[in-house]
Structure 1
């Protein structure tokens, strides 16, 4: 497994393998002069999924959250509503009324799932 920056278009992506909470992932990306990844379109998402699979990243945080307004899924960096999504069927479901952050899950083709923000998993940054 190798972490590091990878280019796609005009953006660089960092694949972090350290298991961290959503807030820690957000801070780590900022410390690297980047931000937690926001997925803008299908082409970007295909690239990220392909890279995650190549790097054996089983799951990872993306910057989507509804922590500040239930069922209003927005990017934490810009507070824009997500125009592109890749939810797993039946998601988001806010299981146990405690799932307010989004991760991509490799075992289901990296479809998105809402998850407790305190779970510790890898992350992807962009700059």
Structure 2
């Protein structure tokens, strides 16, 4: 708790929930459970968060490093081209990618069937497009409260 010295009011310090990691003004949850992309997105929403959306190179470096520490083979992120094939957007904010980390062969699209974004361990946690119905771990993101 911190005190507002002017009024003597106690205010809780801002902190991430247990099992979440702080970076800048956001908290991140690296799941251990696997689910398809839609269920992963719902799981994040149930935790008052969203699938992670990468908007800076610093954030990308943090997520890549933490993914390596946690060690899952794949993590879903909040990007998709489900709405318009070939047009990748962050699905919660509805914004275009400004930072990317695609593997050299991605996005490959597999005949219009790979519409969800993952980070892939075997590629140094670079990005790959995958089938949305595959079960993978995922990363949630929420503002520091």
TM-score interval w.r.t. the shorter chain? over 0.9
2:45 equivalent in structure 1: 30
Across the aligned residues of Structure 1 and Structure 2, the Cα RMSD in angstroms comes to: 1.1
Greater helix proportion: 1
Tell whether the 8 Å contact from 2:85 to 2:112 is kept in structure 1 after alignment.
no
TM-score (ref. length: structure 1): 0.95
TM-score (ref. length: structure 2): 0.83
Picking from 63, 75, 94, the partner of 1:60 is 75
Give the Cα–Cα distance (whole angstroms) in 2 for the partners of residues 90 and 59 of structure 1: 17
Alignment length (residue pairs):
125
1:107 equivalent in structure 2: 122
Which runs of at least 4 in structure 1 moved beyond 3 Å after TM superposition? none
Mark the runs of 5 or more structure 1 residues left unpaired by the alignment.
none
1:70 equivalent in structure 2: 85
Mark the runs of 5 or more structure 2 residues left unpaired by the alignment.
1-17
